[in-house]
Amino acid sequence: MSQIRELLDCFKKVATCPGKIVREYREKTGKGAVGCFPVYTPEEIPHAAGMLPVGMWGGETTLRLAPSALPSFACSIMQSITELQLQGVYDSLVAVIVSSPCDTLKAMGQKWRRQVPCIQFAHSRNTKIDAAADYTRREYQSIRARLEAACATTISDEAIQTSVRIYNEHRQVMREFSGLAASHPDLVNPIDRHMVMKSAFFMRKENHTVLVKALNGLLAKAAKKPWEGVKIIVSGIMLEPVSVLEVFKQNQIAVVGDDLAQESRQYRVDAPEGADPLDSLARQWLSMYGCSLIPDPEKSRFSLLRSLVEQRGADGIVLCVMKFCEPEEFDYPPMKAYMEKNGINLLQIEIDQQIQSVEQIRTRIQSFAEILRAQRARRASIAQL
């Protein structure tokens, strides 16, 4: 038990002190960090260059400078990133890689005003034709070339292949963690779970894998205890700030699975191994599904969520809609209709990294937990009849 707590504290330390981690990495290895914008940025390429790929998901900050670059209706993550960028927080990075999955992100390359090289790329939007793999591969090749220039190094195919293997193993370990955490809500609370996921953005994946494997080993051996609270699946781009997760904890809500872009979505699909590592990465992109940022006419996200609810015995879903994130907003009406049809409880909350008070969210989450508890009590009393 104390070993589990020690490990969880270790993840928390990493997740909450990224600046220190980057400094230490530079001092220890003589190599720098490369910022990776959300989402699905091929981290394997900077990893193969010996760099520390660092996830850039914004943070809690007051917007003073960002309004000079972005309109007020840009999403909360990009507002925070722009603010931090303009404050110079990212100046120690070797480069940043920017993906273009939405209208705001595709303009972020233009909004980059610091000296740090900005490498913008775009995934193919059509993922069903062979040309999509060729296109995405060329985009990744361009990232490699520009990164080689920024890092003054060469990135070999062999090095990327090794990174692909390391990342695939990490994905596997993270999927296992998600399942084990769901079985032990008494040991891994929603904040702990989030910190394990988030810390992955600030460690070399081979090192993170070692730590998560150790945690998984301990969780696998721990006795399962009945959970008196409610169990939910969370969906959306991300679930922060921690004050919102604190509300989950206070209401005895266990997060038993997620479909968050910042968490499990990125671990859903492995890259197929092959002779050409950039082609492997491109084909991984083509295999991705179930995300509001990936064109998906079948909207497999909804059936995927339904399966997750069933597999993990969840009482409902909390959809965490990022403020001003259009792709997520567009998914809400059909998702609500789908869940209603399938008798799955769904709550929508708005995620805003600039939020000052969580009182409204507190009321919503508490009410949702009360609904779920009442339903469970009713089911139990019917079962007794």
Partner 1 sequence: MYTLGIDIGSASSKAVILADGLRPVAGQAIQAGTGSSGPKQAVERALDEAKLTLSDIAASVATGYGRFTCELTDRQVSEISCHARGVSHQLPSARLVIDIGGQDAKVIRLDAQGAVWQFLMNEKCAAGTGRFLEVMSRVLEISLREMGAYHDRSSRPAAVSSTCTVFAESEVISLLAAGAAKPDIIAGIHRSVAVKVCGLASRVGWEDDIAMSGGVARNQGVVKALEAELGRPIKITPEPQLAGALGAALYAFDQYQSKNKTGG
Q: Is 88 left (phi over 0), alpha (psi -120 to 50) or beta?
A: left
Q: Which stretch binds partner 1 (CB under 8 A): 36-44, 125-133, 231-239, 371-379?
A: 371-379
Of 29 and 360, nearer to partner 1 (C-beta) is 360
- Nearest residue (CB) to partner 1, 14 versus 232: 232
Question: Strand pairing of 253-260 and 230-236?
Answer: parallel
- Residues 273-293 as b/e (b if ≥16 CB within 10 A, e otherwise) read eeeebbbbbbbbbbebbbbbb
Nearer to partner 1, 49 or 247 (CB): 247
130 or 359: whose CB is closer to partner 1? 359
Q: Please identify, using beta-carbon distances, which residue of 152 and 382 lies nearer to partner 1.
A: 382
Torsion over CA: 314, 317, 322, 326 (sign): positive
d(CA 108, CA 82): 9
CB of 89 to partner 1, least distance (A): 27
Subset of residues 351 to 370 that bind partner 1, contact rule: CB under 8 A: 359-360, 363-364, 366-367, 370
154: nearest Cα among 54, 52, 50: 50
Cβ at position 370, least distance to partner 1 in Å: 5
Dist CA 231 CA 209 (whole Å): 26
Considering the complex, state which of residue 300 and residue 363 has its C-beta at the smaller distance from partner 1: 363
Q: Which of 20, 64, 225, 378 binds partner 1 (CB under 8 A)?
A: 378
Q: Residue 360 is encoded by which pair of tokens?
A: 């409204």
Q: Which two tokens stand for residue 366?
A: 């508490």
Bond before 39 cis per omega within 30 degrees? yes
Please, what is the end-to-end C-alpha distance for the chain in angstroms?
Answer: 39
CB of 338 to partner 1, least distance (A): 14
Q: Is 126 in the site for partner 1 (CB under 8 A)?
A: no
Q: Is 63 in the site for partner 1 (CB under 8 A)?
A: no
Pick between residue 151 and residue 351 the one whose CB is nearest to partner 1.
351
Interface of this chain with partner 1, residues 11 to 50, rule: CB under 8 A: none
Burial 43-71 (b: 16+ CB within 10 A, else e): bbbbbbbbbbbbbbbbeebebebbeebbe
Question: What does the per-residue mask of binding to partner 1 show for 307-346, with x meaning CB under 8 A?
Answer: ---------------------------------x------
Binding interface with partner 1 (CB under 8 A)? 340, 350, 359-360, 363-364, 366-367, 370-371, 374-375, 378
